[in-house]
Structure 1
């Protein structure tokens, strides 16, 4: 059976699934066994701790009972009261006999003066004396007290009982060793291995008594000693080649030394019954795998053989033979598949024709698509090579189509594309000298193939197309003005293959859209410009990543007070190779490519940092930042600006955003929406370069602006040009009548300063006050700035002469 065959794969799959299921089942069962065993052991250990404490309590009760009997013995009390040498022997004999009865290792008498008077073991008595004396008060108040003492690293249970006649005349002290006997008793009661341990900081753990064999006890203590800290919960040990789960129980503390008991339960013994079940399961698993292997082989043969026959039939269908006989008599899924094959033959022929149409036609306009256009272009190029002729390609991209699509919706855009296609087909059908073929390449791009045409004919047709598209389209009671940029490329003048010609026509088309100058014929210099643009865009992105941009500011001065009230933020590019790059060299390109949005974001962030530093110095200035057309079209700009203010903890009043008239007029509706949202946040807005654009006063009246900036072209020549003086004066009056603050740019002399001040201009900026300076030098400049002294300004002589004319 070949491994790559379906039959072998089915068998392999079935066996793999069965083995995987069985193995996973065994692992789950094994894990459950281990979990149950540990839970059972944990329960046993918990019960064992209770039992051991009970044993200790029983021993303590036994000691206290023996001590209480002795403390109430009349002869013993009399002997203590006489306190002579003969009675001392009686006392010592009573202590020895009483201790022997309850198997106490030490019995002693503490006198009313609280010192050991009689003891059956002087060495132990001396070691226990401090602990005993600390227990006397508790014993007197509670009719006895018990505790744990550690002598020579061995634990003892100690009981102190007061002797009252009726006042306290002494105390009886008895000790009971906590050793292997107690561990053996614990083992007999609970079946848990029990080890009595003591611990001191210097010598570590010592096993006093254990139910483990002597060598095993040492191994267990070594493993306990190796633990980083005293365990507070269950832990595992390996003793006598078996794994145990153990728990440490603290039973007493004597100074720095402590006594503990370690209870251990064998994990192997706990899981012994489960392991027999596990072996049975393994046997059943192996038997199940064997049976499943036989069943999977038979099932695979029943499935694979009919499929092999269908594969042969499918091969004939691939070769175009639709007459093959297919067995459709089976009533299962294989029979349904055979019936589907039989039905498929009729559908294949119909779909082949439809697929061919869809592969080479645009479904929206029913024009040839890009693939078909390339086929037609290749055929035309082949004919041109044979006949030494020419082929030209026109490529066009509709203007403002994306805006129409965004505003009016996709269905409106689709209808618009169909109308454009109809116009192009009607125009091309009227051509007599050439046989053009129009196609839709995708989106709003169309192409026209002109086989056997000349460059003059291509230019003429391009002009006709441009004129046709400039006529407004009427759709759903809406008049749409679109237009298009058209690029022209031809064989053999520009390229020799279809893809190259299309690429060149596309380059020329984008050049036409950029120039807004009708049709453009491909030229190699255009491509170089594209490469330079691509290089410049890459350098701009790298400059932003490498922090090559610098923030400069130009102060804005209030004419009346002469104080600095703000600054305009400007960007400078310090290129690592070309040095300082002027804004005129990269700002227009940044606006054209859309990189200006990232640059504006950088300027805003740097300006916010400047505002923070000024606030820290106790200086409140309004920083003006220029917004481009693309910034105004960004509907997310207000949200981004709010996020920056919140992150920097700044007020919106710290900024004044400047926009030009042309930026507003490019898309007044969207610009007005963006400006309204920014104004609602509390940020001031300014019309920059006022007087150089083409905005109407109606838009200016509606816009939520606070400031009007007079373009420097009207301010620079105010000393010598009376016309500029009149324009500036009128602009100031207009701004004030509209309730706006008026700022003059280009103040480069003291005379102009005084003229603007006499006209009641609010603020000014220019080289007279300061050239643009690095942002970090603004504070130093402010300290050095001094406003000019006020003077009377005479009427300019040139102005009077001009008026006389």
Structure 2
């Protein structure tokens, strides 16, 4: 079994194995697929640790009995939102049912048992890969109403010492036929249809329940909840946010409310009033996606925000674009002058991490640290990350 050196190409094979017979079956299938390099692990926790990081795997061979309850999460993490190639998943030793992530056009599943269990498990799903853009808004709203919201968590770590500092909650929608839909597929149409609060409330409630379950709370992180302008400008926004928090008994100081840039702020005064109340109650406040295309970020810095988040595109472009680099330098200086912390989004490699460190950016978020993770995977990632801290 050939081991995969750290940092090798993303076409590596990850084998999750619980028994010797499965290993031999997987070896034979790997040969049929033309694979000669792979990384072997024996537990779901080890697999989750690898999949949560910056390495992607185009083939996942897994004994589903060994994967246990993390099976669906491991498949979801293997396909990933940034995967560009087809992912092959070999499955055995399970009776289903389980559901595949969407889009399925990037996923090929092979049943090594040969007794038809896989076909039976997937019988309720559409045979064709479906595009979420074709989903009627009525179906999206029905899925939202019927408890289809799921939460994923992307970690934020301090650049100075690598210490985990927080997790941002990201929404997923579990469509009954199409599988797990990414935010770009359902957030804009749901918000446009006038259900922004229903979506924000559902995601927050899901995350706060996960937090109260102790697996997340004991890690000592701050929880970032996204809120579009429409939600924050509601007259009852503060009371609703407080009610959600109070139901779960979580301290306001543990929560960051992040203004998402789904629409521009044309009048800062009403926003400033609700932010002032939230800040006085102890919440952290983040301004999202700050970049050159954001027209009034300098004006918004006069509001009681505590965190400025740099847009992933300007973070990426700063490697080659002098204008982007100058923008970052000015934004970091201005934010620090206003007493704000700065988080760089889209940190996907060590070079970007080092570039942000040189600019005195406080924290980083991106695939170098972790992909968006299910709640059950966050403690596994946390333990693995704390052993290494600084990317090499």
TM, length-normalised to structure 2: 0.61
1:746 corresponds to which of 337, 342, 346:
346
Aligned residue-pair number? 258
Structure 2 residue corresponding to 1:700, chosen from 288, 296, 301: 301
Contact 2:141/2:190 (8 A) holds in 1:
no
Higher relative contact order by CA 8 Å / sep ≥ 6: 1 or 2?
A: 2
CA distance in 1, matches of 2:251, 2:196: 24
Once the two structures are superposed, the pairs formed by residues 208-223 of structure 1 within 5 Å of their partners are none
- Is the aligned partner of 1:716 residue 2:308? no
Match of 1:735 among 335, 339, 342: 335
Distance in 1, Cα, partners of 2:184 & 2:215: 32
Distance 1:756 1:541 in 2: 40
Within-5 A mapping of 1:70-109: none
Q: Tell me the residue number matched to 1:557.
A: 157
After TM superposition, the structure 1 = structure 2 runs for residues 122-161 of structure 1, keeping only pairs within 5 Å, are none
Structure of greater Rg: 1
Tell me the residue number matched to 1:639: 239
Shift of 1:705: 0.6
User: CA-to-partner distance for each residue in 1:116-163, whole Å, 9 max, x for gaps?
Assistant: xxxxxxxxxxxxxxxxxxxxxxxxxxxxxxxxxxxxxxxxxxxxxxxx
Shift of 1:535: 7.0
Q: Is 1:632–1:670's contact at 8 Å kept on the other side of the alignment?
A: no
CA distance in 1, matches of 2:173, 2:262: 25
Alignment of 1:580-729 (within 5 A): 580-614=180-214, 618-660=218-260, 663=263, 665-691=265-291, 692-695=293-296, 697-701=298-302, 703-729=303-329
Secondary structure of the corresponding residue to residue 773 of structure 1: coil
- How far the C-alpha of 1:668 sits from its partner, in A, is 2.7
Matched, 1:572 2:188: no
Cα separation, partners in 2 of 1:661 and 1:534, compared to 1, 3 Å: closer
Offset from partner CA, 1:375-433 (integer Å, 9 cap, x none): xxxxxxxxxxxxxxxxxxxxxxxxxxxxxxxxxxxxxxxxxxxxxxxxxxxxxxxxxxx
Question: Using the alignment, how far apart are the partners of 2:211 and 2:139 within structure 1?
Answer: 29
**What secondary structure is seen at the aligned counterpart in 2 of 1:716?**
helix
Q: Deviations over 1:166-218 (max 9, x none)?
A: xxxxxxxxxxxxxxxxxxxxxxxxxxxxxxxxxxxxxxxxxxxxxxxxxxxxx
Offset at residue 615 of structure 1 (A): 7.2
Paired position in structure 2 for 1:788: 390
Runs of 5+ consecutive residues of structure 2 not aligned to the other structure = 1-131
Q: Deviations over 1:477-507 (max 9, x none)?
A: xxxxxxxxxxxxxxxxxxxxxxxxxxxxxxx
Instruction: Report the alpha carbon displacement of residue 553 of structure 1 after superposing the two structures with TM.
Output: 0.9
Give the TM-score normalised by structure 1.
0.31
Greater share of helix: 1
CA contact (8 A) 1:596 1:630 kept: yes
Gapped regions of structure 1 (runs ≥ 5): 1-531, 791-805
CA offsets, 1:242-301, max 9 Å, x none?
Answer: xxxxxxxxxxxxxxxxxxxxxxxxxxxxxxxxxxxxxxxxxxxxxxxxxxxxxxxxxxxx
1:677: how far off? Answer: 1.9
Q: Secondary structure at the match of 2:150?
A: strand
In 2: Cα distance, 1:719 partner to 1:534 partner: 37
User: How far has the Cα of 1:664 moved from its partner?
Assistant: 5.8
Once the two structures are TM-superposed, the CA of residue 590 in structure 1 deviates from its matched residue by: 1.5
> What is the deviation of 1:572?
0.9
Structure 1 residues 571 and 769: CA distance shift in structure 2, 3 A:
same
1:713, distance to aligned residue in structure 2 (A): 0.7
Distance 1:681 1:617, change over 3 A: closer
- How far apart, in 1, do the equivalents of 2:183 and 2:298 lie? 30
Q: Which residue of 2 aligns with 1:756?
A: 356
Aligned positions of 1:288-437 closer than 5 A: none
1:586-612 superposed Cα distances (whole Å, 9 cap, x missing partner): 111112112121110011112212332
2:216/2:379 contact within 8 Å kept: no
* Residue 534 of structure 1: how far off its partner (Å): 12
How far apart are residue 789 of structure 1 and its match? Answer: 5.6
Work out the CA distance in 2 between the residues paired with 1:754 and 1:631.
36
- Asked if 1 retains the 8 angstrom alpha-carbon contact of 2:349 and 2:368, the reply is yes
CA-to-aligned-CA distance 1:618-676 (integer Å, 9 cap, x gap):
32111111111220221111111111222211110111111145646144332222222
1:567 and 1:536 map into 2 onto residues whose CA distance is 31
- Once the two structures are superposed, residues 724-774 of structure 1 have per-residue CA deviations (whole angstroms, 9 ceiling, x without a partner) of 222222211111011100000000101111111122110110111111111
The aligned runs of 1:130-529 (5 Å cut-off) are none
Secondary structure at 1:782 match in 2: helix
Does structure 1 retain, via aligned residues, the 8 Å contact 2:345–2:364? yes
